[in-house]
Amino acid sequence: MAETRAEVAIIMGSQSDWPTMRHAADTLEALGISHDARIISAHRTPDRLVAFAKGARAEGFKVIIAGAGGAAHLPGMAASMTPLPVFGVPVQSKALSGQDSLLSIVQMPAGIPVGTLAIGRSGAINAALLAAAVLALSDPELAKRLDAWRAEQSAKVAERPQDEA
């Protein structure tokens, strides 16, 4: 497998996950972290999953963010086939509001970890920030950008609430 320039892989089970997972991509973009987003379904494209997960380290990825909804096997199955850290994002499902996704992703048996984030947009953003924190351990310039991102976030919070316009 050819080496990619991207440090973070964002994988998701369906096109329908993109409105959620694009928040991870946007956050990585804001931090100047290279990333590559792909649709890989544990159920519909299992061969694609095996090829990706087994080759992810050789491709040059350092962290994988995996989002899925419903019977969300994608993060766990990916983690079972790669030594890279995998952060799972439970996508909010229509039927059960993402509680199915959350429980599917978070309840990994001992031995194969998936770092599980919150359901939906918050989880997608935080997965990117967690990926950034991991990469920043060996990238001082990224560490500075991450500090600046957090400082900017703090600066945006007003001290007192205001009436809505």
Toward ligand RP5, which CB reaches closer, 17 or 132?
17
Which amino acid appears at position 76 of this protein? G
The total number of residues written for the chain in this structure: 165
In the set 13, 98, 115, 120, which binds ligand RP5 (CB under 6 A)? 13
What character string, x for contact with ligand RP5 (CB under 6 A) and - otherwise, covers 68-107? xxx--------------------x----------------
Alpha-carbon gap, residue 71 to 62, rounded angstroms = 26
Contacts of range 42-48, beta carbons closer than 8 Å, 24 or more positions apart: 42/13, 42/68, 42/73, 42/74, 42/77, 43/13, 43/71, 43/73, 44/13, 44/14
Q: Is 17 annotated in some ligand binding site?
A: yes
**14 scored as a contact of ligand RP5 (CB under 6 A):** yes
In the set 17, 88, 104, 131, which binds ligand RP5 (CB under 6 A)? 17
Q: Which residues are near ligand RP5 by CB under 6 A?
A: 13-14, 16-17, 41, 43, 68-70, 91
